Amino acid sequence: MITIHPWPNAKDMAFSIRDDDLSFFTDSKMLERIYNKAWENGFKVSFSTIPNHKGTNNLNVPPNFRNSHNYYPIYKNTQLVEFLKQKIVEDKIDIMQHGYCHMKNVNLPELKFDLKSSTIITKNNEKFDLNKYSEFYGANADYIRTNIKEGKTILEKTFEIPIKVFVAPQEYLNKNMWQELLNNNLSYCGSFGIRSLKNVPINQINFINMFKVVYKNLINNFEEINDNKMFLTNLLTIPSEYSHSWNISSNSEKEHFNYFKDSIHNKLKSRGFLILLTHYYEYYYDWNEKITQKNLYKYFIKSLNYVNNNLDLWKCSVTELVSWISRIKQIHLKQKHNELIITSRFKLPGFTIKIHDDIGVENKFNVLEKNSFKYVIMDIKVGENRIVINN
Ligand SMILES: [Zn+2]
């Protein structure tokens, strides 16, 4: 049997880092301190970037800008933009779109991290709904259309790269937003499951995949669920299922690390991917000059070292991951006598097929033996690619 291996260069799984809330307010030194070691080890960081951050009372706004109610476009921080552009050239980072201004409403209660109870609270312990902290909550279709487009344009002009992935503020999504993502050729990175389908126009739902997910849920076949979950609609939706956040308290850090290891090994079993989600400013709570959340940093490095030393990973950006998944889904593999014909609409460097039996392959190909299988690694060109095999 011959199958398509999900990742390039016969890698066992894909791994990305997503950092949310980068904006005009970010000091590049904050990023260097957290990510230098990651970059040295070949990891890539995908920054979900706020194009025109509003000075509300949100914790992702530094205290001296809070409640200014002004807008701060990312390009006005020229030092940060130059730093990021250099990192793009070095292929160490990627820019995704994180809404437009993140939060618009200036009348919501101010939040704070309660480090003792590991929960988010308000100053007066009021009840609050985090969805309301999204600029798109309750917004009309016109606001959504204009600002998703405008945000994308700001980022594309600033960084001179195409923006392909959207991360919603507070991961809040509705039908109008979903439609605008489709109109702007953006994939969605965030939690997305059967329940999220209520936020999608009905004619855009892929019912076959929906039934497959429901069925596999019933029979507890979790291995393939993620694959179908990404294709529940006409827009690719990619989850980041592991959150490395501020509420690692000192007595639960070990549990947190074990949870990370479990998440990784579950994904490894199904040859899946893991996106580690974190927020740079949480390490400096509340916008201190130095890292204040030492455990958060310590376990971030520990997690990266663990995957780096124990697994054969494809370290990619979220944009690369999205692009690879959507392209590989469109590959046609056909076996005709002693020839394997792979048809692709895209170039795919490092494309890998997995050979389960004792099948020989002409020796011009790079064949890797690993985990008692043979992997043929090749650079796929647009159109037909042929491999001679002998059974
Ligand atoms: Zn955010």
User: Which tens digit of pLDDT belongs to each residue from 263-273?
Assistant: 999 999 888 99
- What are 29-63's pLDDT values in tens digits? 999 999 999 999 999 999 999 999 999 999 999 99
CA 116, 121, 123 angle in degrees (round to 5)?
105
CA of 102 to the centre of ligand 1 (A): 6
CA of 281 to the centre of ligand 1 (A): 11
CA of 56 to the centre of ligand 1 (A): 13
CA of 64 to the centre of ligand 1 (A): 19
CA of 50 to the centre of ligand 1 (A): 8
CA of 134 to the centre of ligand 1 (A): 8
**123 phi/psi in degrees, rounded to 5:** -55, -40
Q: Are 320 and 162 in contact (CB under 8 A)?
A: no
| pLDDT confidence of residue 305 | 98
| pLDDT confidence of residue 247 | 81
Distance, in Å, from the CA atom of 136 to the CA atom of 73, rounded to the nearest integer, reads 18
CA of 343 to the centre of ligand 1 (A): 40
> Any alpha helices (H) in the chain, and if so which ranges?
28-40, 78-89, 141-159, 175-183, 207-218, 225-229, 253-269, 294-310, 318-328
DSSP state of 60: T
- What are 275-302's pLDDT values in tens digits? 999 999 999 999 999 999 999 999 999 9
Distance, in Å, from the CA atom of 348 to the CA atom of 346, rounded to the nearest integer, reads 6
CA of 150 to the centre of ligand 1 (A): 18
SS3 category, 383: strand
* DSSP states along 262-330: HHHHHHHHTT-EEEEEE-GGGGGTTT-SS---HHHHHHHHHHHHHHHHH--EEE--HHHHHHHHHHHTT
- What are 293-346's pLDDT values in tens digits? 999 999 999 999 999 999 999 999 999 999 999 999 999 999 888 899 999 999
Q: Are 49 and 76 in contact (CB under 8 A)?
A: no
| pLDDT confidence of residue 213 | 83
CA of 356 to the centre of ligand 1 (A): 44
CA of 52 to the centre of ligand 1 (A): 13
Distance, in Å, from the CA atom of 331 to the CA atom of 327, rounded to the nearest integer, reads 7
Domain limits, the chain: 12-191+239-325, 330-390
- What are 369-379's pLDDT values in tens digits? 998 899 999 99
Distance, in Å, from the CA atom of 62 to the CA atom of 59, rounded to the nearest integer, reads 7
Mean of per-residue pLDDT scores for the chain: 93
SS3 category, 192: coil
Distances (CA, A) of 276 to 262, 263, 293, 316, 317: 13, 10, 18, 12, 11
User: Candidates 3.20.20.370, 3.40.50.150, 3.40.50.1970, 3.30.1180.20; correct CATH number of 12-191+239-325?
Assistant: 3.20.20.370
CA of 153 to the centre of ligand 1 (A): 19
Distance, in Å, from the CA atom of 184 to the CA atom of 179, rounded to the nearest integer, reads 9
Distance, in Å, from the CA atom of 60 to the CA atom of 20, rounded to the nearest integer, reads 9
